[in-house]
Structure 1
Amino acid sequence: MLRYIAKRMLQLIPTLILVSIIVFLMVRFIPGDPITLLYGVSESGGTSEEYLESMREMYGLNDPLIVQYFRWILGFFKGDMGTSLLTHKTVLEELTNRYQYTIILAVGGTVVGSIIGVICGIIAATFHNKLGDNVVMVISMIAVSVPSFFLAMLLMLYFCLHLGVLPSLGLRSWKHAILPVATLGLGAVGMIARTTRSSMLDVINQDYIRTARAYGTSKFKIITQYAFKNALIPVLTAIGLRFGSLLAGAALVETIFTIPGIGSFLVDSVNGRDYPAIQSTVLVLAASFVLVNTLVDIIYGLVDPRVKYN
């Protein structure tokens, strides 16, 4: 186990290096000069090219791209992620202050989506090709198809404006977390439910399930103790992928509900051409996604002893 974990951690390094190169180059292809956007108008009301050039020199943007890349990536692995051009704070400080909000949304959305999705998937598999299965499949299709921003606005319209029972902006209490967590959780229901249904159907048709039925074992016990336990690995994969994607993809929800998470920070950084913030934030999100997948792989062995680590 420890050898496998060490191997996966070592594999993380070349993955992050490749991601860093792609992100670094893509950021440079974004139209617009960050210095012109930030300092294009001087205090006298005019534009001073000398002033802009001095700012580019100060931030090292006049250096060759290879120099800029190695200065950033070597600093990143030393814990220096650079300074945000927009907030003038270190990117590490910004991410540290904002990561907690993104974690709350990602964990809450994953828990809600997993509970509802797994229950719906089990119901669909148990009542295969019957009314329960059809209803769950329709719900799953709707959950997958509805964009998160549209669902967020619908929930805000009904619960905030129409009923007035929930706050709509910020994340200052547990009440503020209900709508954004529900938005992310309901968006995850479709994928998890379909994965659970498919995995359960594969297991339910196995010979040992038929044997358990022949011995008179109750249907509830067969589903919960035998079938679901052996169908769990694909479900864990779907949940792990969803959690990783929520860590990186909650930007729209954070922006709509004005939550100061990593996603909204990344959106603001892209709009402001904040090179250091974009590069380091994307790399942190990529590392988080890989670490989540590694954790899911480790959980496989705890759930199913037949899984061996090489």
Structure 2
Amino acid sequence: MKRLISAVALCAALIAAPASADPILFGYAAVSCGLDDPHDTTDRVDYADEVADFTTANQVCITADADETAARLARTAALFTPVFYIEPVFFSQSPRRLRPNPDADALWEYTVATIAASDVPADDLIFYLVDEPTLRRLPLSAVSAAARVIKGTFPNARILMIEAFAPDDPVAIPAGVDIWGFNTYALRDPAADPAFIRQLASARTALGPHQSLALIMDAQYTPVHAAAGLTEADMADVARAYARLARSTPEVSIMLGYTWAGGIDGPWEKGLRDLPQPVIAAHRQIGRALRN
């Protein structure tokens, strides 16, 4: 009961916080990452043009083809801020955990050369360094070490990391990380969920100078959503709830929807582009509003 009362108090404090007056960057995962959405009948693997008119920052993934990566960065930077996913540069997935990549030095040199070839200033990128490191048993010291390498090359770089939902764990944000967030899904309204608000409040307290928050918007549809009582049409209201929360949380500098294209985790996963048109229309309205 004490935990519930505390969470309700945190929720009330959050709602009472002054609304953010600054534009909030907004976009999606799986936009320029070479993913073929299993829910369409095309061989399209890049969706930048589908989101360019209402978003300001979207995930762009590094590839083993330097020319393709440079072209991808140049193409997307003309449309929005690339959220440049570089986890494979610094970390590799073993069967049970994420580990520092033994080839990181060479791969970072490759990355730096690729950015130079793109003619996109590094200061115009957001370096998406790692996803769910604690869940995947990667020490945060390894995240800090990678952040130091990035900052050593690009002192003004913006570095993003995303953790998994863990509302009862203390929030630890490495000093070298500029933008920190966490993900959880199938909530109708995150601001009404005590556990979500508890972790968000912890994150706000843990931020250091010049650090900000990423809010991960639920923008997919899976059997988990159905089991939670959500329909595909309900995802428009879910999006509006996340947008309200972003606006009421001054520390939020970017909101990223997971996900634009479906199929990241399996064919059962629909991305936003696979959902009904009224849901997509709600997202378009949100994106345009967040720019102002």
Instruction: Bin the TM-score by the shorter chain.
Output: under 0.3
Structure with greater strand share of residues: 2
The higher-RCO structure (CA 8 Å, 6+ apart) is 1
Q: Normalized per residue, which structure has more helix?
A: 1
Task: Provide TM-score, normalisation by structure 2.
Answer: 0.26
TM-score by length of 1: 0.25
Larger radius of gyration: 1
